[in-house]
Amino acid sequence: MLNISENSIIGKIDTRKYSAFSRMDLAKSHALFTRWLALALVLFILFLMLPWTQNIQARGQVTTLKPEQRPQFIPSAIAGRIEKWYVQEGQLVRKGDTIVWISEIKAEYFDPLLVERTEKQVIAKEGSMRAYANKAEALDNQIAAMRNELEFKQRQLRNKIDQARFKIAADSADLTQAIIQDSVARIQYRRTQALFEQGLEPRTKVEDRRVKLQETEAKVVAARNKLDASRNDLSIAQLELSTVQYEYNQKIAKAESERFATLSSLYDTEAGVNKLRIESANYRQRSTFYYILAPQDCYITKAITPGIGETVKEGDPIVSIVPADYQLAVELYINPMDLPLIHFGQDVRFIFDGWPAFIFSGWPGQSFGTYSGQVVAIDNMISDNGKYRILITPGPNDKPWPKELRPGSGAKGIALLNNVQLWYELWRKLNGFPPDFYTPKKDKEEDKLKRKAPAKSLK
């Protein structure tokens, strides 16, 4: 019965007496299904209220924390020909062990005594430099001697000029005396001549006075000639003083010119010596590149140019190595939209390729076979793949990573974020919203301390 009518017969008729009523009743299974459906709905609602940890998933690979611990190639520092290998692939070598020996292929370095001969050239150039230095010192001494000699000559000529001036003064006095004596003798002669004409003096006396007059006239001429000679000597001495100064200045200038030329040659030789020293050091350093040594404790992975007699260019890789001691890390690439959600020290869970795991991304505590780590580096520059790279290392108190891990292995990372309810996470996923932005507890505590600090300083 549908029980649609308002006039119900239930309670007025005994339905157990009629089989039709029993066939129209609902089955017990239907009621049970209804109960189970209601229970499932309640459980689903309760399930939606469970907590869920938001996360960012990304693919990456195992690498090393320090750059020097990553696989690398050992190049040849010089161009050469491979002569002998001292190792084999997979072998463990220690730092400083010889890996391969290469020989020279450039003609300018074929001489086996190149370093010794270059050092001999340096010694010869140093001897030439010392000779130039000695010559410059000798020229300095010569210039000093010529200056001393010039000073001595000038002093000597000044003394000679003073003597000539004194002599001129004396000759001038003699000339004055001779002129006075000539004037007296002329007066006496005229007086005696007058007295002779008057008959008062004899002729002999007149003749004596004439002789005396001639003698005084001769003395005047001699004194004048002597004074002129003294003046001429003074002019000659003054000319010699200016001449000797000019001559010695010319000699000193010539010696200084030779000195500067010698110093120039000295400096050129010194430059040549330094150049030869550099070449000798370069040759000596180049000779150490014939043997390629292990830069650190490492394993030989692959010989790039294995053949004996093969030539390599400068900078070409010869062998690839893997460091023996390294600290593992995982590099993950995350989308730019998720970058603000990544913080230093953030917890990240991993699934390594080759290690079985059973995970619940939203319930990290219920996952099995995962490993954890902490973010230690975040790139500020976007990578070529359009994502940002982050580095994760094992946490100090976390389960250690497998010892069998090697750089280059694949890894899937799950960065754990904020805790929300499951219904909210489903709603976020359906709408394509990013995970909620949040601030870690450490950053919140630091912000509180920064806010309190100014208030304390104001007090």
Domain assignments of the chain as residue spans, ordered by start: 1-48, 51-67+327-443, 71-97+294-323, 114-288
Encoding tokens for residue 160?
A: 């000679």
Residue 331, classed as helix, strand or coil, is strand
Encoding tokens for residue 251?
A: 């000699």
Q: Looking at the chain, how many residues does it have?
A: 459
329 neighbors 65 (Cβ within 8 angstroms)? yes
Pairing of strands 92-93, 72-75: unpaired
pLDDT in 10s for each residue of the chain, 459 residues: 455 556 665 666 666 666 666 665 555 566 677 788 888 888 888 877 777 677 778 888 988 888 888 889 999 989 999 999 999 998 999 999 999 999 988 888 888 888 888 889 989 988 998 999 999 999 999 999 999 998 998 888 889 888 888 888 888 888 888 888 888 888 887 887 887 778 777 878 778 878 887 888 888 888 888 888 888 988 888 888 888 888 888 889 999 999 999 999 999 999 999 999 998 898 888 888 999 999 999 999 999 988 888 899 998 999 999 898 888 899 999 888 888 888 888 888 888 887 766 555 555 555 555 788 888 998 888 888 889 999 989 887 778 888 888 888 888 888 777 666 777 777 777 776 666 655 665 555 555 554 454 444 333
Task: Assign domain 51-67+327-443 to a CATH class.
Answer: mainly beta
Q: Which amino acid is at 417?
A: L
Task: Assign domain 114-288 to a CATH class.
Answer: mainly alpha
d(CA 213, CA 198): 21
Residue 302 bridge partners (DSSP): 320
d(CA 227, CA 171): 5
d(CA 377, CA 339): 12
56 neighbors 348 (Cβ within 8 angstroms)? no
Q: Which amino acid is at 95?
A: K
CATH 1.20.140.10 corresponds to the domain 71-97+294-323: no
Of the candidates 100, 125, 104, 127, the one whose C-alpha atom is nearest the C-alpha of residue 114 is: 104
| Same fold yes or no, 51-67+327-443 and 114-288 | no
Q: Which amino acid is at 426?
A: L
310-348 burial code (b ≥16 CB/10 A, e <16): eebeeeeebbbbbbeebebbbbbbbeeebeebbbeebbb
DSSP 430: H
